[in-house]
């Protein structure tokens, strides 16, 4: 079964400021803010939710098809995908556009100042689910607003079950629009903050939402995750890690674990454990696509962690 992942591809430029922002930003002068930070450490990473999830699925030996709009500057990312045998069949280049870009400056307190340019991502609605073939499951992650709306409707019309994972795109939608997504989706995935916002805007509790879809999955960082399945609740503990290096992209790694479990028709406890382990492996490496393992190595660590075979 192939998975279709609708979402963004992005270049993440990450800069490290070896000081604290608070030492350089005067609270009583923010109305005339004009600051410059020396960032001696900088790296450029391949990112974006769809790209990250597709990368993690490839590590799990699952064929993931990413659907996204990209810019004319995509060549280095395309080379990376080819090196890792990740399909580019459903990527559409938008002329005279940049691929989405995030510029992130982090200080010594892990505070961040981020500028995000959506670029080609705003044209995601140009891609159509009807352009695909042999797709058994889908996922909608943060993308262009209209693209998210249209892709959900197209998944529903095609009778393709999908995960609705609005992520940082959730604030773009009002209550009526979010309730429409819930009506169309098969599963919902979000973090604990997004879950609060989803409940507020839809006017429904997690218990009520879980009656409308097959499962609601809530991630809570170091506190693990909770999976609501009708009248059942599965508490999935976080996996112990050797070192917390970089949490960026852990949610995407977790989503890949969810897709692996759903595609292989595993029970929810096992699926949640796979997803938790994926997030733990990611957090031990900097960047969103720099971790690596074989499927046999993953299964060995799974057995060590959960005392059962996969």
The stretch 195-209 carries a mean pLDDT of 97
The predicted model scores a pTM of 0.93
What is the pLDDT, as a whole number, of residue 255?
A: 98
Banded model confidence at residue 60, pLDDT cuts 50, 70, 90: very high
Report the mean per-residue pLDDT for the chain: 95
Give the pair of three-digit tokens for residue 178. 């979010």
Which tens digits make up the pLDDT trace of 184-201? 999 999 999 999 999 999
Q: Does the pLDDT value for residue 34 go beyond 90?
A: no
What is the pLDDT, as a whole number, of residue 218?
A: 98
Sign of CA dihedral 202, 208, 213, 215: positive
Q: Does the pLDDT value for residue 302 go beyond 90?
A: yes
Which tens digits make up the pLDDT trace of 263-278? 999 999 999 999 999 9
Q: Which of 27-36, 233-242, 249-258 shows the lowest per-residue confidence on average (mean pLDDT)? A: 27-36
What is the pLDDT, as a whole number, of residue 1?
A: 82
What is the pLDDT, as a whole number, of residue 281?
A: 97
Domain that holds residue 251: 2-306
What is the pLDDT, as a whole number, of residue 90?
A: 97
**What is the number of domains present in the chain?**
1
Which tens digits make up the pLDDT trace of 78-128? 999 999 999 999 999 999 999 999 898 988 887 888 899 999 999 999 999
Q: Which of 28-32, 111-115, 162-166 shows the lowest per-residue confidence on average (mean pLDDT)? A: 28-32
The stretch 2-15 carries a mean pLDDT of 95
- Using CA atoms, how far apart are residues 22 and 55, in angstroms rounded to an integer? 36
Order of strands, sheet of 100-106, starting from the edge strand that comes earlier in the sequence = 41-47, 10-16, 100-106, 112-117
Q: Does the pLDDT value for residue 15 go beyond 80?
A: yes
The stretch 194-216 carries a mean pLDDT of 97
What is the pLDDT, as a whole number, of residue 28?
A: 81
Number of separate helices (H) and strands (E) present in the chain: 9, 13
The CATH number given to whatever domain includes residue 176 is: 3.40.1190.20
* Residue whose tokens read 């938790």: 276
In this structure, which long-range contacts are made by residues 245-248, counting pairs with CB atoms below 8 Å and at least 24 apart in sequence? 245/283, 245/284, 245/285, 245/286, 246/283, 246/285, 246/286, 246/287, 247/221, 247/283, 248/12, 248/47, 248/287, 248/288
Q: Does the pLDDT value for residue 30 go beyond 90?
A: no
What is the pLDDT, as a whole number, of residue 275?
A: 98
- Using CA atoms, how far apart are residues 72 and 155, in angstroms rounded to an integer? 28
Q: Does the pLDDT value for residue 29 go beyond 80?
A: no
Alpha helix stretches (DSSP H) within the chain? 49-59, 75-83, 145-157, 175-184, 192-202, 206-212, 250-263, 268-283, 295-306
């Amino acid at each position: 079964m192939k998975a279709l992942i609708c979402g963004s591809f992005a270049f993440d430029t990450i800069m490290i400021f070896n000081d604290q922002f608070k030492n350089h930003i005067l609270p009583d002068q923010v109305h005339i803010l004009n600051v410059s930070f020396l960032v001696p450490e900088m790296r450029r990473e391949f990112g974006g939710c769809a790209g990250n999830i597709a990368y993690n699925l490839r590590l799990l030996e699952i064929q993931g098809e990413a659907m996204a709009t990209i810019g004319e500057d995509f060549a280095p990312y395309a080379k990376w995908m080819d090196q890792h045998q990740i399909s580019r069949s459903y990527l559409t280049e938008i002329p005279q556009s940049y691929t989405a870009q995030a510029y992130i400056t982090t200080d010594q307190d892990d505070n961040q100042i981020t500028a995000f340019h959506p670029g080609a991502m705003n044209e995601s609605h140009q891609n159509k689910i009807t352009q695909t073939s042999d797709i058994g499951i889908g996922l909608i992650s943060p993308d262009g607003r209209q693209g998210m709306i249209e892709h959900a409707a197209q998944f529903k019309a095609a009778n393709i079950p999908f995960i609705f994972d609005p992520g940082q795109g959730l604030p773009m939608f009002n209550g009526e629009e979010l309730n429409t997504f819930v009506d169309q989706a098969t599963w919902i995935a979000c973090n604990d903050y997004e879950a609060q916002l989803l409940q507020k805007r839809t006017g429904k509790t997690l218990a009520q939402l879980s009656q409308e879809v097959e499962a609601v999955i809530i991630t809570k960082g170091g506190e693990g995750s909770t999976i609501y399945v009708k009248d059942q609740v599965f508490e999935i503990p976080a996996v112990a890690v050797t070192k917390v290096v970089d949490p960026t992209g852990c949610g995407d790694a977790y989503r890949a674990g969810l897709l692996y479990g759903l595609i292989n028709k595993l029970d929810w406890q096992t699926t949640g454990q796979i997803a938790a382990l994926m997030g733990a492996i990611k957090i031990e490496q900097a960047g969103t696509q720099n971790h690596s393992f074989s499927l046999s190595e993953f299964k060995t660590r799974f057995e060590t962690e959960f005392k059962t075979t996969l």
